[in-house]
Amino acid sequence: MKTNAYIAGVGMTKFGKFLDQGLKAIGTKAIEAALADANMDKSELQAAWVGNAAAGLVTGQESIRGQVVLRHAGIGKIPVINVENACASASTAFNQAAMMVSAGLYDVAIAVGVEKLYHEDKTKSFGAFTGAVDVEAMEEIMTALKKSAESSGATEASGGAGKKRSMFMDIYAAGARNHMKKYGTTVEHFAGVSAKNSFHGSMNDRAQFREALTVEQVLASPMIAEPLTRPMCSPIGDGAAAAIIVSEKKAKELGLQNPVKILCSAMVSGWDHEDDAPGAADLAASMAYEEAGVGPEDLSLVELHDASAPGEIFAYEALGLCAKGEGGKLISDGVTKLGGPLPVNTSGGLLRKGHPVGATGIAQIVELTEQLQGRAGDRQVEGAKIGLAHNGGGSIRNDGAAMCVSILGR
C-alpha cells in the first residue's frame, strides 16, 4: 500500500549478547532513544505495534510482550498490538503502524522490535528458528535437507541441523549449492558478501561484530554447513529498535527538519509455485516499486535480509538489482560496497550487525533513516535520497513465509 507517513525519530540499542538484561530493559532503551531523536514525549504516542518472534520460547513471556515492555518504559493506556511474524516481525510492526497512520486513524504511532535470543540453554535459541517452518512437515524437511547435502558431498550439512545450529543455515546452504550449480556462482562470491559486510560493520558502533575480514579469512573459518563458513551465517543476538511514525499533519506541526517519508511498505506471504518461479520477495519488490513510483535504478542504498551470505545474493536478484544468476557479479565488481554504485547493508547487515530476529526489520529502518538524513558517519552514502529495506521471515516449502519491502525517501 502507498503510504502517507513520515519518520519523526529512530533509535536502537547495540546488538549483542546481553544475558544480564531482559526484554524490558532492552526494549526501553530503543524506545527512549527514538523519542529523544524525535524530540517528543511518550505522552504524545497514540498507538504502538511491537514485534517479537521468540520470547515465548526463550524467556517464557507470552501474550502481552509489547504491553510488558511499554509499561516498563512508562507507556500505558494506548492500544498495543503484538506482532509475531518470524524474522519479519519488526518490519510487519512497522508496516502496520505506517498503514494505520496513513489511513488517518492515528497521528503518532511507534513501531518497536525487540528480541532476546541468547540463553544459557542453546537449544532454546535454536528452537526459536525451528518453529519458523511447518512443524507438521518437519520430518519431510529434515529428510530433504539431508538428501540435498549427501547428494552434493556436503558432510557437515548432513547432520546437526536445528541442534548444533539454526536449521535455516541448512536451508540457505542447500539454496547456495543449487545457485552454484545452476549459475556458476562461487564460494568466493559468498565470502565476498561477508567480507564486504564486515567492512561496513567495522564502522558501526552498534554492530555485534566489528572486525573487518578478508575473503581469505572468511573462507578459512570453521565450516558450518557447506558451503557456509561461520562468517557467512548471521549470529543470534539480543537487541531492540524503534521508529516513531507520524502523519503529514503532525510532521508539519513538529516542523520536522530533513524529514524522511515512508514512500511505501509492501507486505506479502509466500505461496506454492514452481522452484524457478518468482516468489514472495519478487512480488513484494515489484509491488513496492510500483507503489513508490521508483525502480531499482533510483535506489541510493539497500538494507536487505542477509541471514546468510548467499541470502544477500538471492535478494539482489529478487529485488531486481541484477538479472537472475548475476548476483555474484555485483560482489566481484564492487557494486554493493560503500563507494560503489549501490551500497548494500551499510550497517553491516545481519551478518555483522547481528540478527535479534524480532528487532531486525526496524534496525534496517534506523540505518536507512540515518543515511537519508546524512548522519551515518563513516558509513555515509553520499547524496542518499531513496533507500529500500527488505526483510523476510520463516519458510514453507520452497518460499518464504512472510516478506516485507519498504521504501523510504528524503
- Which residues have a catalytic role annotated? 87, 355
Could you give the CA distance from residue 338 to residue 367 in angstroms, rounded to a whole number?
Answer: 14
Please state the φ and ψ torsions of residue 241, each to the nearest 5 degrees: -145, 155
Secondary structure (DSSP) of 58-80: HT---S-HHHHHHHHTT--SS-E
Residues in the chain: 410
Q: Coil, helix or strand for 392?
A: strand
Q: What sign results for the dihedral spanned by CA atoms 180, 332, 364, 404?
A: negative
Could you give the CA distance from residue 147 to residue 167 in angstroms, rounded to a whole number?
Answer: 14
Q: Coil, helix or strand for 403?
A: strand
Q: What sign results for the dihedral spanned by CA atoms 76, 79, 85, 89?
A: negative
Could you give the CA distance from residue 208 to residue 235 in angstroms, rounded to a whole number?
Answer: 9
